Structures are given as structure tokens and as C-alpha cells.
Structure 1
Amino acid sequence: MAGRSFVFTSSALRSLQRDQDLLDRDRHRRQLAEHRVSSYVPQWAREPPGTGSVRPPVLCEDVVVHNALYTGDLQALQRLFPAGSSADVTLEPRGGDMRWVPAGDGLWSLTYEQELTTPLHVAAGRGFADCLKHLLQRGADVDRAPGGSTALHESCDSCQPECTKLLLMYGADANAMTDDGLMPLHVCTEPQSLECARYLLQFGAVVGARSAEEDDTPLHVAARGGLADHVDLYLRYGAPVDPVNREGLTPLNAACAQPQEARDLPRYFQVCKRLLEGGADARTMDQDRRTPLHLACKSANPDVVELLLAKGACVNDMDYGGEAPLHNILKVVCFKVDHQPHRIVRALLNYGSIRVWPGALPKVLQHCSPSPRTIEVLLNAYSRLKVTEAWREAVPAELLEEHPVFFQSVFSLQDAPRSLQHLSRCRLRSFLEGRVHEVVPKLELPDIIRKYLLLEYRGYVH
């Protein structure tokens, strides 16, 4: 090694040159294949299998066949697989990602990653329904899985409903399992796979089937992916709503635990809403005693938090770490400002959540200062605050400049008591003891007072 360069040995250079020659040769073969595909017929097509015998699948490495399959050239396939021939072959395609593999004598060779597949897999994964039908009519084994998964898995994973339906009509096993223990319903993980899932269920797929490794049901997969329409479909087909997987998660827990960007929040709200309407338990704990409310606070989904509270979630359940849902949201505020974390803190406090120990408020202030609204809601749950210089030191200078009015209102409490109006609010909230969310909206109060009692954001504390 000299400077930033790497010294190649003569053996390594010869290996690299050999790899380049192989790549050039393969490229040349592909170019030739484009010109001769119209007249080419492979050996097995000219010699149909004898009657009364079952011929094992042929390993096909011919680039002519590969080119026709990967481009969806039906006319070429009709010539390559004429009447009386068998399309039950195995492919070892060239191309894809490249990687270094040991070549012996301390040398490494740069080669393509290769995985056995079949013509059915290629056609099904690319949505070539006409080609797929022709291959099936030529006797291709619909359930063969040389690479560990069937063509049906491929079509579902690629969201190709027409190919999925065609495979099922030709007898594909709707409950076939991959080497990783997944059934076709388990690979329906995109919104566009809804039709594939519907066809699978119509052809006998087990809606409550479990994956081998994670013990997930299709409902777990749909909930984790935020697929509300899939959840509806599975529930209509009788999927159990609260099965527990190997991690102790129900589908509702799995949906709440999934990391969510701001754009994903509505999708996961719809999933949780439909699961709860289907009878899901809002208080089921996982192996760490975390409830859906704990998990929804960690993922900072305010609509889901409000929904869970309305459905009976306990606001003060503790997990094995001794943390309540309020602790979970306060720990992620600085990362989830665009998720409106103040709404979650307000909802928890209105339902009677325990508060933060006053001595820890400077640390909370430091961590949550990017969201002044969250700090305001939290501080307004206390009738007395012991504001010190440590509070001012906890807020970064750039945030002091960005929100001067709010933070100045906080620091001014160092030498002054809370207002009588605020003390009256605290007294009433204390009297209601966690029923604020239920009682205050029923009172005939002006809207501004009702919002004040429910800790609506005002932009300052007093």
C-alpha cells in the first residue's frame, strides 16, 4: 500500500483481465442472440419427451431463451417452446449484482451473483401474462422452486395480479412456503398487492397462516406495512385480530411499533382504527410489557394515541423499564417535531397521565426545546415551578433566538408566581382527576375557556 493507491500483483491483474474477457464474451453472445432468436429452436423443443416417462428439468443457460423471457417476447417463446415441447426448465441467469468470490490460490474473481429460477418465475415477476400462459400450456411445473420460492411468490412480491390469478388457475399452491418460511400472503407487502391477496384467498390461502421464523400472520404483515385495505380484506375473511407473534406482538402492537415518517401517519391511523373496530385489544402488552399506547407514543402518531385512549388504553401502564407512555413521547420529541408531539403530551395529561418529576424538568427542557408547544403543554400541568438559571442554560442559543417570546415567558417565572387564572385551571383539573377529556367538553363554556382548560397551545406561559 503506497499513499492512496493499491498495488495489484501480476496474478490479480491476470484474474481481472480474465473476468473482463468473460464479460465481453457474454455481451457478444447477447448481441448475436438478438439476431438469431427468430430462427433458433433449442434441443429440448425439437425432441419432445417420450411417452410414459417424466424427464427431469433441464438446466438452460442459453442466452437466446433468456433474452426472450426477460423481454417478454411471446412470438419468440412460441417458437422456442412449440407444441409438444416442455417448458419445464431451470434457468441460471447471468447479470444482476456482481461480487468478489474466491477463485483458489489466494485469488478472487469478480462474478455475477446467480440464483436458479424458472421461466415461470421470470414471466410472473415481470407481469408477462401472455408468456406465462404459454409456458403453463407447455407443461411448466407451476410449484417448482429451485431458488427457494415459487413463481406465485414472485408474482405476489412484484404485485402482478393477472399473473397471480393465472398461476392459481393452473393449480399453484396458495399456501406454498419459501425456504425462509413465507407463504404468498406474507409477501403481499405493498398497496398494489391487494388484488394478489384477494386472489390468493379466493383460491384457498389460509388467512391466519404463520411464517416459520417470526410466527407472523398476514395480518401482522399488513399492519406493520400500514396496509389498511389488506387489513380490511383479511378481517373479512375471518383473520384472528389478536394473534401474538414470536416477539409477543399483536397486529395492533406491530402497527404502533413501526417507525413512521410524517407522511405515513394517516395510513397507520387507518390500520389501527380498523383493527380496533375489528375487536383488537388496546391494552395487550408485548414481552417488555409495552402496550400499543407505549409504542404509538414512541412512533409519535398523535391520532393513534388519541384513538387508543378513547378505546380504553391505560395512560399510566408501566413497561419493564418503569416508563409510562409520557416518557416515551418526551424521549423522541426532538426527532419528531413535525409529528405534532404536543398533541400527544396534551392528550396523555388530559387522560390523567403522571407528570415528570419537577427536578428533571431542566433535562426535559433541553431535550424538548425544538418543540416549544410541547414544553408549554407540559409546564401548564404544574401549579408551581422552581425556575432556575439551569433552565436558561438548558436551551440552545439558536432556539432562544428562534422563539424569544416563548422562552422569555418561561424564564420570567423565576421571580414570579403563576397567574391566578392558571392556578384556577390547575385546581379544576386536579378535581376532575383524569376525567378532563370527558367532562370539560360537556360543560357550557366559551370556546376559549374550554381550550384553555384542555391545555391548548397559546405561545407563552403565565
Structure 2
Amino acid sequence: MPPKRYRNDVIATAQATGYVLQFWNCLLVGDDLTLISIMDEPECEDLIDAIYDTSNIEEWKNFRHHYRTLRLWSLTYEQQLTTPLHITAGRGFVDCLRHLLQRGASVDLAPGGSTALHEACQNGQPQCVKLLLSHGANSNAVSEDGLMPLHVCTSPESLVCAKHLLQFGAAINGQSLGEDNTPLHVAAQNGLPGHTELYLHYGAALEKRNDDGLTPLNAACSQPQEKGDLERYTKVCELLLTAGADVNTEDQDKQSPLHMACKNINPGVVDHLLAHGACVNTMCYSGNAPMQNVLKVVAYKADHKPERVVRSLLNHGSIRVWPGALPEVLKYCCVSPRTIEVLLNAYDRLKVTDDWVEAVSPEMFKEHKGFYESVFSLQHTPRSLQHLARWKFRNYLDGRVHKVVPQLDLPTFIKNFLLLEFRDYVH
């Protein structure tokens, strides 16, 4: 049903008395008392479902010019077509919203393409969400972008909103139009552990794929992650894996969750994936194993601790870098000396040449002089007996290092040495 439009004669009458702008101002500041007094005026009855068009900014500015005494004017509202219900729901003005609903405001009106419920969820306003739902708002209303309210719960603040939606019958596996994302996909993509746990409790499908062929686990692992987001995404992946998500499900390019987590360099996620049986040497269509994925991005994400990822992969039996490619790897990964250290400790001998020296920039050499001097000294010195013993032991165990070493009756410092603990030099 198309939205009810404002009648011209009503607009003219309300504007003539200055009520339209006063009403708008009350909505913006949450002034419920003045709002009630305006709605009590006979000529302002239809303001409740008024559709404001804020696209013509100059017209609104000229209109404002006649009412200089108003306390606030704002044109920062995102939608061009909006209603009183949308404004109050999105800003969390519960009392104003309640008065509008009690006066009969159309709860599912969507002139701008989405309902007031979408607006409240998107802005993390749980009280407004509950109020709208209790007045009959459709918990599965689809916006013009193909999104249900659960699909716009994308912030940690929207968790309680999601709880209210599910209590009022929101479809836990409802897919968005176009992208085919479920709410669990959305929670995974945005690194929301609270939402993920909630949706799993309500029976969210773990293996449903979206339009890109991604399951929620794939979606979480493939999402670009800033350093401050790593812990949240780690928790999401832990929840999905504990619930039984397939750890080796590949996307359309045959990239597994491990490929993706290595590309984003999230050590916590990598550890969980490996602990749940992720295949460490599977190659994607481009011919890359997880190890290649992490080494390609070390230069851009050195603060993500790529050395932890490389160490975990090697301890689980990852293929090593072809020795002839080590100077190239050194060139692009020299910003992370510990990554270089772990890589080099996977070999029993190294053919260090002048190319290695040239591969490290003067800036990096100066910053990590002690470490790189220890590397370059191997040009004339064999590896130590201590290291050779470690290499022999690890080589014998092959991909079982991570299982066997922790069970050995050995001092902790020896176990750590066998598991390639960082020492910030190579010997």
C-alpha cells in the first residue's frame, strides 16, 4: 500500500500557523510536551503521518527564516523522505514515539524505503524497537534495499534490538534480497559475538551460503579487519566453530576460511581454525596455500603479529618457502623480523648471499640491527648444533609437532624452543 501523502490544504493551514516547523523541531530535540500540545490543535491532526521531504534544502532554509525563535534547526538527517516516526525512533526519543503511536501513526510507513523499525535497529535504539513491535510493526518488513530489520543490526549497540525482533517473530534465517545474507552472515561480517551467540541460540543455519558462496564462517574470516577488531572476529569464529561450522568450506575461488584468516592476519582465528582441523596446505584457484597468503600482506599488517600466524602454520605442517625465494620474502617481510626468524628456523641450512643484505632496507636494518646482523652472519657460519637438533626433531614429527611437543615430559623452555618461540636473533 503506497504511503499516505500530506494534503496540500492541510500543509497550507499548518504552515500558516507555523506548526510544521515547530512540529519538526520538537521531533529533532525530543520535546514531547510541546509535541503533544501541537498535536492537540485541530489543524495539525495529519502531522502525525506527515512525510517530510528534506531534499530541497533552500526551501527549508527560507521557511526557517520566518521562525527565528526556534531552538534548533538540523538538516543532518540522512533520509530525504522521512516521517515523525522515523525521526523519533532513530534518535531514541521514546516518549515522543509513544505519543505518535498512541495518536495512530502508521507504524510501517516507509516513504524513504525503510520503516521506522529499520531506523531504530540501525541506530541501536532497543526501547524504540520494542515500542514499535508492541504496536504491530512488522519484524520482517523488507526495505527497498532488500533488508529486514535483523539485517541492519550491525553494531554492538543493536544486540538488544535483535533480541526484541526475535521475540516478535523475526525470521532467523531470512535472507536479504540481492546478497542473500542471513542475520548470522551480517553478525559474522561485522564481528559481533553477542549477535552470533544469540542467533545460534535461535537456530541460525551454519552452512547457508550467500550470493558470493560464503557461509557465515567464511564471511567472518574474509572480512577486512583492523587491529582493534581482531579479538571480536576471533570470538565470532570460535562460536561458529564450537557450534559445528565446517572448517574447510571453500568459496567460489576455492579459498578456505584458513586462506582468508591468513590474508587478514588474525592469529586468534588461525589458531582456532587449525585446532578444528583446517587443512594447512590446501591451494586455492590462484595456486596459493595459506602460508603464501600471509606472507603477501606482512608489509601492510606487521602490527597484526604475522609471526604468530606463520609459526602456527609451520607447527601444523605447512609447506615452507622455496629457499631460492627467501631473498624476495626478506625484501617484502623485513618490517617484521620475527616473521623472518620463524621462517628461517624451518631450515637446517641457509645460503645467505649479498642479495639478502640488499633485500633489507637501510631503515629496517638500523631499526633491527641486532637481528639482521645475526642473519647476515650466517653467510660464513653454519647453523648451531642446538638449532640443528631442533630441526631434526621437527622434521621427524612432520605435521605432528603441535600435538606431540606439548605432551612431552620436558621443561617448558625446551618445549617453547621446539615450537619456534621468538628469540629475536637467528643462530
Query: TM-score normalized by structure 1?
Result: 0.83
Structure 1: any 5+ residue segments left out of the alignment? 1-54, 99-110
Counterpart among 375, 380, 384 of residue 415 in structure 1:
380
Query: How many residues were matched structurally?
Result: 397
Tell whether the 8 Å contact from 2:188 to 2:236 is kept in structure 1 after alignment. yes
Q: Distance in 2 between matches of 1:436 and 1:269?
A: 23
Partner of 1:72: 30
Secondary structure of the equivalent of 2:291?
A: helix
Partner of 2:49: 88
Deviation at 1:449, TM superposition (A): 1.6
* RMSD, matched Cα: 2.1
Q: Distance in 2 between matches of 1:278 and 1:457?
A: 33
Tell whether the 8 Å contact from 2:133 to 2:168 is kept in structure 1 after alignment. yes
Tell whether the 8 Å contact from 1:316 to 1:353 is kept in structure 2 after alignment. yes
Q: How does 1:31-70 map to 2 (within 5 A)?
A: 56-58=4-6, 62-70=20-28
Partner of 1:231: 196
Deviation at 1:73, TM superposition (A): 1.6
Q: How does 1:1-150 map to 2 (within 5 A)?
A: 56-58=4-6, 62-82=20-40, 85-86=45-46, 87-93=48-54, 115-150=80-115
Partner of 2:69: none
Tell whether the 8 Å contact from 2:55 to 2:80 is kept in structure 1 after alignment. no
Counterpart among 342, 345, 362 of residue 377 in structure 1:
342
Q: Give CA deviations for 1:338-389 in whole Å, capped at 9, x if unaligned.
A: 2111111011001000011111100100111111111010000011211110
Tell whether the 8 Å contact from 2:187 to 2:196 is kept in structure 1 after alignment. yes
Partner of 2:65: none
Q: Give CA deviations for 1:154-201 in whole Å, capped at 9, x if unaligned.
A: 111111111111110110000001101000000001101011100000
Structure 2: any 5+ residue segments left out of the alignment? 60-74
Instruction: State whether structure 2 residue 160 is matched by structure 1 residue 195.
Output: yes
Partner of 1:173: 138
- Change over 3 Å in CA distance of 1:114–1:327 after alignment to 2: closer
Secondary structure of the equivalent of 2:238?
A: helix
Partner of 1:209: 174
Q: Give CA deviations for 1:323-348 in whole Å, capped at 9, x if unaligned.
A: 00001111111222221111110110
Deviates more, 1:354-363 or 1:81-90: 81-90
Instruction: State whether structure 2 residue 281 is matched by structure 1 residue 316.
Output: yes
Q: How does 1:249-264 map to 2 (within 5 A)?
A: 249-264=214-229
Instruction: State whether structure 2 residue 316 is matched by structure 1 residue 351.
Output: yes
Q: Distance in 1 between matches of 2:54 and 2:368?
A: 60
Secondary structure of the equivalent of 2:105?
A: coil
Q: Distance in 1 between matches of 2:327 and 2:53?
A: 63
Counterpart among 409, 422, 425 of residue 457 in structure 1:
422
Deviation at 1:299, TM superposition (A): 0.9
Instruction: State whether structure 2 residue 221 is matched by structure 1 residue 221.
Output: no
Deviation at 1:95, TM superposition (A): 8.0
Counterpart among 376, 379, 386 of residue 351 in structure 2:
386
Deviation at 1:418, TM superposition (A): 1.5
Deviation at 1:94, TM superposition (A): 6.5
Q: Give CA deviations for 1:245-281 in whole Å, capped at 9, x if unaligned.
A: 1111111111111121221111111111111111111
Q: Distance in 1 between matches of 2:171 and 2:57?
A: 34
Secondary structure of the equivalent of 2:51?
A: strand
Counterpart among 234, 239, 244 of residue 274 in structure 1:
239
Instruction: State whether structure 2 residue 201 is matched by structure 1 residue 243.
Output: no
Q: Give CA deviations for 1:24-81 in whole Å, capped at 9, x if unaligned.
A: xxxxxxxxxxxxxxxxxxxxxxxxxxxxxxx943165732221122122212221222
Tell whether the 8 Å contact from 2:280 to 2:313 is kept in structure 1 after alignment. yes
Q: Give CA deviations for 1:4-37 in whole Å, capped at 9, x if unaligned.
A: xxxxxxxxxxxxxxxxxxxxxxxxxxxxxxxxxx
Counterpart among 143, 161, 165 of residue 126 in structure 2:
161
Deviation at 1:97, TM superposition (A): 11
Partner of 2:249: 284
Q: Distance in 1 between matches of 2:55 and 2:101?
A: 24
Q: Distance in 2 between matches of 1:452 and 1:403?
A: 22
Tell whether the 8 Å contact from 1:400 to 1:407 is kept in structure 2 after alignment. yes
Partner of 1:45: none
Q: Distance in 1 between matches of 2:58 and 2:375?
A: 57
Partner of 1:332: 297
- Change over 3 Å in CA distance of 1:283–1:63 after alignment to 2: same
Tell whether the 8 Å contact from 1:83 to 1:138 is kept in structure 2 after alignment. no
Deviation at 1:413, TM superposition (A): 1.2
Q: Give CA deviations for 1:386-438 in whole Å, capped at 9, x if unaligned.
A: 11100000000111111122111111111222222222211111111100000
Deviation at 1:114, TM superposition (A): 6.7
Q: Distance in 1 between matches of 2:379 and 2:57?
A: 65
Partner of 1:442: 407
Instruction: Among all aligned residue pairs of Structure 1 and Structure 2, give the percentage whose two residues are the same amino acid.
Output: 59
Tell whether the 8 Å contact from 1:227 to 1:267 is kept in structure 2 after alignment. yes
Q: Distance in 2 between matches of 1:356 and 1:114?
A: 53
Q: Distance in 1 between matches of 2:302 and 2:269?
A: 16
